[in-house]
Amino acid sequence: MTEKALIKSLKNSTSREVAFRQLMALYKERLYWHIRKMVKIHDDADDVLQNTFIKVFKNIDNFKEESKLYTWLYRIATNEAITFINKRAKQQNLNIEEVHFNITNNLQADIYYDGNEIQFKLQQAIATLPNKQQLVFNMKYFDEMKYNEMSSILETSVGALKASYHYAVKKIKVHLEKSN
Protein backbone atom coordinates (compact mmCIF):
# COMPACT_ATOMS: atom_id res chain seq x y z
CA MET A 1 0.00 0.00 0.00
CA THR A 2 1.36 3.42 -0.92
CA GLU A 3 1.70 6.15 1.69
CA LYS A 4 -1.07 8.13 0.02
CA ALA A 5 -3.45 5.16 0.08
CA LEU A 6 -2.61 4.50 3.71
CA ILE A 7 -3.35 8.09 4.67
CA LYS A 8 -6.62 7.95 2.73
CA SER A 9 -7.63 4.79 4.60
CA LEU A 10 -6.63 6.34 7.91
CA LYS A 11 -8.86 9.32 7.22
CA ASN A 12 -11.81 7.13 6.29
CA SER A 13 -13.75 6.10 9.41
CA THR A 14 -14.74 2.71 7.95
CA SER A 15 -11.17 1.65 7.12
CA ARG A 16 -9.42 3.57 9.91
CA GLU A 17 -8.85 0.71 12.33
CA VAL A 18 -7.37 -1.66 9.77
CA ALA A 19 -5.19 1.09 8.35
CA PHE A 20 -4.10 2.11 11.84
CA ARG A 21 -2.89 -1.41 12.53
CA GLN A 22 -0.87 -1.27 9.32
CA LEU A 23 0.56 2.09 10.29
CA MET A 24 1.67 0.78 13.67
CA ALA A 25 3.16 -2.36 12.13
CA LEU A 26 5.14 -0.18 9.74
CA TYR A 27 6.53 2.39 12.15
CA LYS A 28 6.39 1.02 15.71
CA GLU A 29 9.97 -0.26 15.82
CA ARG A 30 11.59 2.78 14.26
CA LEU A 31 9.64 5.11 16.51
CA TYR A 32 10.26 2.93 19.55
CA TRP A 33 14.03 3.11 19.19
CA HIS A 34 13.90 6.80 18.49
CA ILE A 35 11.92 7.32 21.73
CA ARG A 36 13.95 4.78 23.72
CA LYS A 37 17.14 6.66 23.00
CA MET A 38 15.55 9.75 24.45
CA VAL A 39 13.86 8.33 27.56
CA LYS A 40 16.19 5.34 28.03
CA ILE A 41 13.91 3.11 30.16
CA HIS A 42 11.74 0.54 28.36
CA ASP A 43 8.53 1.16 30.35
CA ASP A 44 8.76 4.88 29.71
CA ALA A 45 9.47 4.31 26.03
CA ASP A 46 6.44 2.04 25.83
CA ASP A 47 4.21 4.71 27.42
CA VAL A 48 5.50 7.40 25.11
CA LEU A 49 5.16 5.18 22.02
CA GLN A 50 1.56 4.30 22.89
CA ASN A 51 0.73 7.94 23.53
CA THR A 52 2.34 8.84 20.21
CA PHE A 53 0.10 6.46 18.29
CA ILE A 54 -2.98 7.53 20.24
CA LYS A 55 -2.20 11.14 19.30
CA VAL A 56 -1.80 10.07 15.69
CA PHE A 57 -5.15 8.27 15.79
CA LYS A 58 -6.87 11.31 17.27
CA ASN A 59 -5.28 13.81 14.92
CA ILE A 60 -5.02 11.98 11.60
CA ASP A 61 -7.78 14.17 10.15
CA ASN A 62 -5.64 17.23 10.86
CA PHE A 63 -2.63 15.83 9.00
CA LYS A 64 -2.35 18.17 6.03
CA GLU A 65 0.07 15.97 4.05
CA GLU A 66 2.49 18.86 3.66
CA SER A 67 5.23 16.55 4.93
CA LYS A 68 5.80 12.82 4.64
CA LEU A 69 3.83 10.65 7.02
CA TYR A 70 6.90 9.31 8.80
CA THR A 71 8.22 12.86 9.28
CA TRP A 72 4.93 13.77 10.96
CA LEU A 73 5.09 10.62 13.12
CA TYR A 74 8.69 11.30 14.17
CA ARG A 75 7.77 14.85 15.06
CA ILE A 76 4.89 13.70 17.27
CA ALA A 77 7.08 11.02 18.88
CA THR A 78 9.86 13.55 19.54
CA ASN A 79 7.44 16.03 21.09
CA GLU A 80 5.85 13.32 23.22
CA ALA A 81 9.25 12.20 24.51
CA ILE A 82 10.30 15.78 25.30
CA THR A 83 6.96 16.39 27.05
CA PHE A 84 7.50 13.20 29.05
CA ILE A 85 10.98 14.29 30.21
CA ASN A 86 9.73 17.78 31.07
CA LYS A 87 6.87 16.31 33.10
CA ARG A 88 9.29 14.03 34.92
CA ALA A 89 11.48 17.03 35.74
CA LYS A 90 8.49 18.95 37.08
CA GLN A 91 7.28 16.00 39.17
CA GLN A 92 10.71 15.49 40.70
CA ASN A 93 11.43 19.21 41.00
CA LEU A 94 14.64 18.82 38.99
CA ASN A 95 16.00 20.46 35.86
CA ILE A 96 16.16 18.55 32.58
CA GLU A 97 19.89 17.86 32.84
CA GLU A 98 19.43 16.37 36.32
CA VAL A 99 16.64 14.12 35.04
CA HIS A 100 18.85 12.83 32.21
CA PHE A 101 21.69 12.31 34.65
CA ASN A 102 19.48 10.33 37.10
CA ILE A 103 17.91 8.19 34.38
CA THR A 104 21.28 7.30 32.90
CA ASN A 105 22.84 6.52 36.26
CA ASN A 106 19.96 4.14 37.05
CA LEU A 107 20.15 2.56 33.62
CA GLN A 108 22.17 -0.43 34.77
CA ALA A 109 19.39 -1.36 37.18
CA ASP A 110 16.95 -1.67 34.26
CA ILE A 111 16.44 -5.32 33.37
CA TYR A 112 16.08 -4.28 29.75
CA TYR A 113 19.54 -2.79 29.56
CA ASP A 114 22.65 -4.85 29.20
CA GLY A 115 25.10 -2.38 27.71
CA ASN A 116 28.77 -3.01 28.27
CA GLU A 117 31.06 -0.53 30.01
CA ILE A 118 31.80 1.46 26.84
CA GLN A 119 28.14 1.67 25.90
CA PHE A 120 27.22 2.81 29.40
CA LYS A 121 29.94 5.48 29.37
CA LEU A 122 28.66 6.69 26.02
CA GLN A 123 25.14 6.99 27.50
CA GLN A 124 26.53 8.97 30.42
CA ALA A 125 28.32 11.27 28.01
CA ILE A 126 25.16 11.75 25.91
CA ALA A 127 23.22 12.59 29.08
CA THR A 128 25.47 15.60 29.67
CA LEU A 129 24.34 17.19 26.38
CA PRO A 130 21.45 19.65 26.10
CA ASN A 131 18.16 18.08 24.87
CA LYS A 132 18.48 19.22 21.27
CA GLN A 133 22.09 18.06 20.94
CA GLN A 134 21.14 14.65 22.37
CA LEU A 135 18.42 14.33 19.77
CA VAL A 136 20.67 15.36 16.90
CA PHE A 137 23.46 13.08 18.06
CA ASN A 138 21.16 10.06 18.43
CA MET A 139 19.50 10.59 15.06
CA LYS A 140 22.77 11.14 13.23
CA TYR A 141 25.11 8.74 14.98
CA PHE A 142 22.84 5.79 15.76
CA ASP A 143 20.06 6.12 13.19
CA GLU A 144 22.36 7.45 10.48
CA MET A 145 19.61 9.79 9.43
CA LYS A 146 20.29 12.31 6.69
CA TYR A 147 20.47 15.96 7.68
CA ASN A 148 17.62 16.75 5.25
CA GLU A 149 15.31 14.28 6.98
CA MET A 150 16.36 15.50 10.42
CA SER A 151 15.74 19.04 9.26
CA SER A 152 12.10 18.36 8.37
CA ILE A 153 11.46 16.38 11.58
CA LEU A 154 13.09 18.83 13.95
CA GLU A 155 12.16 21.89 11.88
CA THR A 156 15.73 23.13 12.11
CA SER A 157 18.05 24.21 9.30
CA VAL A 158 20.65 21.74 8.04
CA GLY A 159 23.40 24.18 9.01
CA ALA A 160 22.19 24.40 12.61
CA LEU A 161 21.92 20.60 12.79
CA LYS A 162 25.48 20.15 11.53
CA ALA A 163 26.71 22.62 14.13
CA SER A 164 24.74 20.81 16.89
CA TYR A 165 26.17 17.46 15.88
CA HIS A 166 29.68 18.88 15.75
CA TYR A 167 29.37 20.34 19.27
CA ALA A 168 27.78 17.15 20.58
CA VAL A 169 30.61 14.96 19.28
CA LYS A 170 33.18 17.34 20.71
CA LYS A 171 31.58 17.35 24.16
CA ILE A 172 31.19 13.57 24.20
CA LYS A 173 34.83 13.17 23.28
CA VAL A 174 35.94 15.48 26.09
CA HIS A 175 33.66 13.68 28.56
CA LEU A 176 34.97 10.24 27.60
CA GLU A 177 38.57 11.41 27.80
CA LYS A 178 37.96 12.86 31.27
CA SER A 179 36.26 9.70 32.52
CA ASN A 180 39.19 7.60 31.38
Partner 1 sequence: MKKNNKHTISKYGFKTPKNYFTSFEDSVFEKLSNDNLLDTTNFKIPENYFETVEDNVFKKLNLKKSPKIISIRRILIGVSVAASLLFMFSIIFSGNGKINPNTIAINEIENWMDDNIENIDTHAIIENISIDAIDTLQIYDTNEIIDELEGVDIEQIIIEIETEIGSDLL
- Residues in contact with partner 1 by CB under 8 A are 13, 17, 21, 24-25, 28-29, 32-33, 36-37, 40, 42, 46, 49-50, 53-54, 57-58, 112-116, 119-120, 122-123, 141-144
Provide the minimum distance between the beta carbon of 119 and partner 1 in the complex, in angstroms, as a whole number.
4
Tell me how far apart the alpha carbons of residues 55 and 46 are, in angstroms, rounded to a whole number.
14
In the bound state with partner 1, the residue whose beta carbon lies nearer, of 101 and 141, is 141
Tell me how far apart the alpha carbons of residues 133 and 163 are, in angstroms, rounded to a whole number.
9
Reference 124, options 103, 150, 147, 95; nearest CA is: 103
Residue 18 has φ and ψ, to the nearest 5°, of -65, -45
In the bound state with partner 1, the residue whose beta carbon lies nearer, of 97 and 143, is 143
Provide the minimum distance between the beta carbon of 40 and partner 1 in the complex, in angstroms, as a whole number.
8
Are residues 138 and 37 in contact, defined by beta-carbon separation less than 8 angstroms? yes
Provide the minimum distance between the beta carbon of 17 and partner 1 in the complex, in angstroms, as a whole number.
7
